[in-house]
Amino acid sequence: MSIPGLSHPQVGPAVTNNLRAGMMPVTASSSPGKPATTLGVLLFSTTIFLSAFLLFSVEPMAAKMILPLLGGTPAVWNTCLVFFQAVLLAGYLYAHVSAKLLSQRRQMVLHLFVLFVALMALPLHLPRTWSPPIQHNPVFWLLALLAVSVGLPFFVLSASTPILQKWFSHSGDPAASDPYFLYVASNTGSMVGLLSYPFVLEPTLHLTTQQRMWSSGYVLLFLLACGCVAMIWRGAQFFAQPGDDEVKADEIGEDTRPVAKRRLRWVILAFVPASLTLGVTTALTTDMPAIPLFWVLPLAVYLFSFVLVFARKPAVSHEWMVRRLPLLILAAAFPIVSGARLPILLWIPLDLLALFGVAMVCHGELARDRPSTKHLTEFYLWISVGGVLGGTFNALIAPLIFNSVIEFPLILVLAALLRPPIDVKENTPRARGLDLLLPVILGLVLLSIVLILRALDRKPVLWMSILIFGFALEWCLSFNRRPIRFAAGLTAIFLAGTLYTGSYGHIVHAERSFFGVYRIRDYDEDRLRRLSHGATTHGIQSLDPARAREPLAYYTKAGPIGQVFDAFSGNAEMAAVAIVGLGAGAMACYVSPPQQLTYYEIDPLVERIARDPKYFTFLRDCNPRVPVVLGDARLSLREAPDHHYGMIIIDAFSGDSIPAHLLTREALQLYLRKLTPNGIVVFHISNNYLDLQPVVSTLAADAGLVSLIERDTRISEAQAKNGTFPSIWVVVGHNGNDFGKLADDPRWKAPAAKPGSQVWTDDFSSVIRVFKWN
């Protein structure tokens, strides 16, 4: 092990002979008696399962409740995870302190009282008067909102698992001496709670129904907890003497209190998978829709690893996972260092498999080092500390100190460093010297290749990226037996990869905010500059001065939005235009005085980029005094005068999706209230992953409106080279007369109805139903 003060056994034939003295793991075989099949096991397992189910089903539900206030950014979910981890730590601390300071009778009475008090917070709801800050990072506002809305029930539920396990250890059951198997029930409940949300609860139930059902589940949990207390209250083991834990510790071979080095090891082993879980979540939801499915998949993988490693008979060998981890890490590293744009059905599994491997190895090390029941609550406490630190690093610290999602590769390197060595037979000074020398040589060779490509001004293609970095990663894989050598080789590849432009052009500027990472890239070959959020382009400007005022990408004059502005040119009712979503500001060139344009943008960083002439000049050259109203459009538009805008264009983005709360019945009612009598709403629904046409069509039909759609998806190679993107736009009005010349334009057609489409509301939306799985 390469971190000072920590050590772990090697993995190999002699693994059982390398367990540190006084740190013998508790295993299923150490539990006396027959297999646990008693009523007590059933009752406690059911109670813990339900507690974990409620705990982890409320996470995506609370995040979905908050999304209308902050849009569909992955930072919302990551900040929610930090809050939940912090409250989980508070719950574990409460469980540990109450177990240490109170008798079991008093702890039972206290916990039942706290469970009962939390009933007063139901049903869960958000305070109606809270609005997010506009100019400042909303992280701390979001944490406070979560605290007042779901904090108390979540705190109580988070403490229930360790407390119930501690109670069970005194139940007199044959399995009571090793209650860690109940951790499997806990994590199984967590997984079921998480996965049931995107696949069952969200697509079928309204949010208010979800909240009522969750409240009913909490009442049932309270009754089950009372049953657990009644069972133990009547048992002889309830009157255990203070020294009984020490006797149990002696029986299973542990008679020492965990030392600081061991606690630190627990924290670090918990830190890495927790941080990587948020890193994978950010990677997925930056370039894909911010929907619960992509929030919960990484967390479900994380929890599933706990289920496997704490099972009585693990389904996957720890040694087998340790041996395969280097390959999984390198597979996830390839898209990062090469800039390759992999298909979604390949990219998602690569990241999730790497997370699974890291979590299995780190959590497997924790399971092998778990202490006796005397230190059960402390063990969970330190694991929770590691989880909170991992979440805090990703959600609070990394966005402030990094301009890119660099925490993902950093944690991959740390995971490589933590992995136990594989059959290492020598640790001589020469071998330790090669641990650094060989990775340096690898890095220099790879760096030389990258610099030569840059000097030749060669634009890399996919096959070239595979050849260059496939060779480097294969070389690094040969270091896999020695953690320091392997981690150093991986670091060298990541460092060389920072100079590799791949197919994404030269980065002019990169900056990160709560809402994501923005990059400005120049493509010298095409003389174009692009603004990107993740891997999605949200604005293009030509570097040719003669074309600098020409809207490009989705906004070309020959495209749908150009046709819309042309159709209403000179129309007095269209004197005021609102655009939700600023991007690079290209559409500002369609509106000139005496027309009035107002942009609505959620991220202050986007406005700074669009107004800075070093990057883009659309606003300066076309509409320098255009106002930009910061904040979520659903909140900001409420302050606009009624019947003021002739046209409202919804072009908001988060990753590659329109936030769902801008496509609901309530949102459309707001837009209509702000429109002139014959005004129109224009939706930009171009999307790689979602088919939003049925959503908009159903929304319009529900309001008694009519709509037209143009799919401008046939773009020639010459058009693409000049900066034209395929796009899909929908216009919505009260009747056909509101569409002007568009009504007679054959390119604009009535959208086809999709049977079974359900209107989205603030209380119900299911993005997974419109996901393009192909």
CA nearest to 47, candidates 221, 287, 267:
221
Residues linked to residue 598 through DSSP beta bridges, in sequence order = 578
Residue 303 has pLDDT above 70, yes or no: yes
Q: What is the mean pLDDT of residues 3-12?
A: 38
User: Could you tell me if residue 723 is left (phi over 0), alpha (psi between -120 and 50 degrees) or otherwise beta?
Assistant: left
Q: What is the mean pLDDT of residues 236-263?
A: 53
> Do residues 346 and 370 share a domain?
yes
Q: What is the mean pLDDT of residues 278-295?
A: 67
Q: What is the mean pLDDT of residues 360-372?
A: 88
Q: What pLDDT was estimated at residue 725?
A: 92
Rg of the chain (C-alpha set): 29
CA nearest to 230, candidates 34, 99, 47:
47
Q: What pLDDT was estimated at residue 340?
A: 67
113 contacts: CB under 8 Å, gap ≥ 6: none
How far apart CA 487 and CA 468 sit, in angstroms, is 19
The verdict on residue 753 lying in a domain is yes
Residue 718 is part of a domain; what is its CATH number? Answer: 3.40.50.150
What would the pLDDT profile of 34-53 be if each residue is shown by its tens digit?
Answer: 444 477 788 888 998 999 89
How far apart CA 651 and CA 47 sit, in angstroms, is 47
Q: What are phi and psi of 46, to 5 degrees?
A: -65, -45
Q: What pLDDT was estimated at residue 248?
A: 46
How far apart CA 540 and CA 553 sit, in angstroms, is 6
CA nearest to 533, candidates 508, 511, 550, 516:
516
Residue 615 has pLDDT above 90, yes or no: yes
Q: What pLDDT was estimated at residue 74?
A: 57
> Do residues 618 and 732 share a domain?
yes
The domain in which residue 446 lies consists of 429-497
Query: Higher model confidence: residue 1 or residue 221?
Result: 221
How far apart CA 66 and CA 60 sit, in angstroms, is 10
Of 193-197, 271-275, 304-308, the range with the highest mean pLDDT is 271-275
Q: How sure is the predictor about 79, in pLDDT bands with cuts at 50, 70 and 90?
A: confident
Which secondary structure element, helix H or strand E, spans residue 418, and what is its range? helix 407-418
> Do residues 563 and 709 share a domain?
yes
Residue 7 has pLDDT above 60, yes or no: no
Peptide bond connecting 677 to the previous residue in cis, omega within 30 degrees of 0: no
> Do residues 614 and 709 share a domain?
yes
Q: What pLDDT was estimated at residue 173?
A: 66
Residue 471 has pLDDT above 70, yes or no: yes
CA nearest to 770, candidates 711, 697, 690:
690
The verdict on residue 521 lying in a domain is no
What would the pLDDT profile of 627-674 be if each residue is shown by its tens digit?
Answer: 999 988 888 898 899 999 999 999 975 445 557 788 899 999 999 999
Within its chain, how far is the Cα of 136 from the centroid?
A: 22
Give me the percent of the chain exceeding a pLDDT of 70.
82
> Do residues 410 and 461 share a domain?
no
> Do residues 362 and 438 share a domain?
no
Residue 75 has pLDDT above 60, yes or no: yes
The verdict on residue 189 lying in a domain is yes
Lowest mean pLDDT among 413-427, 587-601, 689-703: 413-427
Residue 452 has pLDDT above 80, yes or no: no
Q: How sure is the predictor about 288, in pLDDT bands with cuts at 50, 70 and 90?
A: low
- Domain stops at, among 393, 418, 443: 418
Which secondary structure element, helix H or strand E, spans residue 465, and what is its range? helix 462-477
CA nearest to 742, candidates 710, 704, 697:
710
> Do residues 115 and 169 share a domain?
yes
CA nearest to 302, candidates 157, 172, 377, 194:
194
What one-letter code names the amino acid at 478? S
The verdict on residue 505 lying in a domain is no
- The answer to whether the Cα torsion of 455, 458, 462, 464 is positive or negative is negative
719 contacts: CB under 8 Å, gap ≥ 6: none
Kindly state the DSSP code that residue 395 receives in the 8-state scheme: I
The verdict on residue 360 lying in a domain is yes
What would the pLDDT profile of 161-189 be if each residue is shown by its tens digit?
Answer: 888 887 887 766 666 666 666 767 887 88
331 contacts: CB under 8 Å, gap ≥ 6: 350, 353, 354
Judged by DSSP in three states, 682 sits in: strand
At 537, list the tokens: 């382009």
Q: What pLDDT was estimated at residue 253?
A: 39
Q: What pLDDT was estimated at residue 533?
A: 79
Residue whose entry in the numeric block shows the structure tokens 């929907």: 291
The verdict on residue 61 lying in a domain is yes
Q: What pLDDT was estimated at residue 432?
A: 82
Judged by DSSP in three states, 768 sits in: helix
> Do residues 267 and 346 share a domain?
yes
- Total domain count, the chain: 3
Residues linked to residue 732 through DSSP beta bridges, in sequence order = 681, 707
Buried b or exposed e, range 62-88, using 16+ CB within 10 angstroms? bbbbbbbbbbbbbbbbbbbbbbbbbbb
How far apart CA 213 and CA 50 sit, in angstroms, is 13
CA nearest to 727, candidates 707, 754, 747:
747
Residue 600 has pLDDT above 80, yes or no: yes
Q: What is the mean pLDDT of residues 244-250?
A: 44
Residue 385 has pLDDT above 80, yes or no: yes
How far apart CA 598 and CA 588 sit, in angstroms, is 9
**Residues 246/374, Cβ–Cβ less than 8 Å:** yes
At 729, list the tokens: 């736009």
Buried b or exposed e, range 541-572, using 16+ CB within 10 angstroms? bbeeeeebebbbbbbbeebbbbbbbebbeeee
Within its chain, how far is the Cα of 237 from the centroid?
A: 44
The verdict on residue 103 lying in a domain is yes
**Residues 90/155, Cβ–Cβ less than 8 Å:** yes
Residue 380 is part of a domain; what is its CATH number? Answer: 1.20.1250.20
Residue whose entry in the numeric block shows the structure tokens 């793991």: 25
Lowest mean pLDDT among 325-329, 466-470, 614-618, 620-624: 466-470
Lowest mean pLDDT among 19-28, 116-125, 568-577: 19-28
> Do residues 98 and 231 share a domain?
yes
Residues linked to residue 654 through DSSP beta bridges, in sequence order = 657
Which secondary structure element, helix H or strand E, spans residue 729, and what is its range? strand 727-733
**Residues 453/501, Cβ–Cβ less than 8 Å:** no
The verdict on residue 538 lying in a domain is no
Average pLDDT, the chain: 81
> Do residues 487 and 635 share a domain?
no
Pairing of strands 628-630, 645-650: unpaired
Pairing of strands 675-684, 645-650: parallel
Q: What pLDDT was estimated at residue 190?
A: 82
Q: What is the mean pLDDT of residues 438-458?
A: 80
Q: What is the mean pLDDT of residues 469-495?
A: 89
**Residues 650/696, Cβ–Cβ less than 8 Å:** no
Q: What pLDDT was estimated at residue 631?
A: 83
Query: Higher model confidence: residue 531 or residue 572?
Result: 531
Pairing of strands 516-523, 528-533: antiparallel
- Domain stops at, among 418, 445, 476: 418
- The answer to whether the Cα torsion of 66, 70, 71, 74 is positive or negative is negative
Pairing of strands 727-733, 706-712: antiparallel
Q: What is the mean pLDDT of residues 313-323?
A: 86
Q: What pLDDT was estimated at residue 465?
A: 73
Q: What is the mean pLDDT of residues 388-410?
A: 82
Distances (CA, A) of 762 to 666, 684, 733: 7, 20, 22
**Residues 83/143, Cβ–Cβ less than 8 Å:** yes
Kindly state the DSSP code that residue 657 receives in the 8-state scheme: B
Query: Higher model confidence: residue 504 or residue 506?
Result: 506
- Domain stops at, among 477, 497, 517: 497
How far apart CA 105 and CA 110 sit, in angstroms, is 9
Q: How many CB atoms lie within 10 A of CB 213?
A: 14
> Do residues 456 and 590 share a domain?
no
At 72, list the tokens: 């569909």
At 310, list the tokens: 């704490």
Q: What pLDDT was estimated at residue 694?
A: 92
> Do residues 483 and 395 share a domain?
no
Query: Higher model confidence: residue 238 or residue 264?
Result: 264
Residue 597 has pLDDT above 60, yes or no: yes
Give me the percent of the chain exceeding a pLDDT of 90.
31
Q: What is the mean pLDDT of residues 455-459?
A: 61
Distances (CA, A) of 368 to 20, 42, 245, 426, 433: 11, 25, 20, 25, 31
Q: How sure is the predictor about 134, in pLDDT bands with cuts at 50, 70 and 90?
A: low
Q: What are phi and psi of 532, to 5 degrees?
A: -120, 145
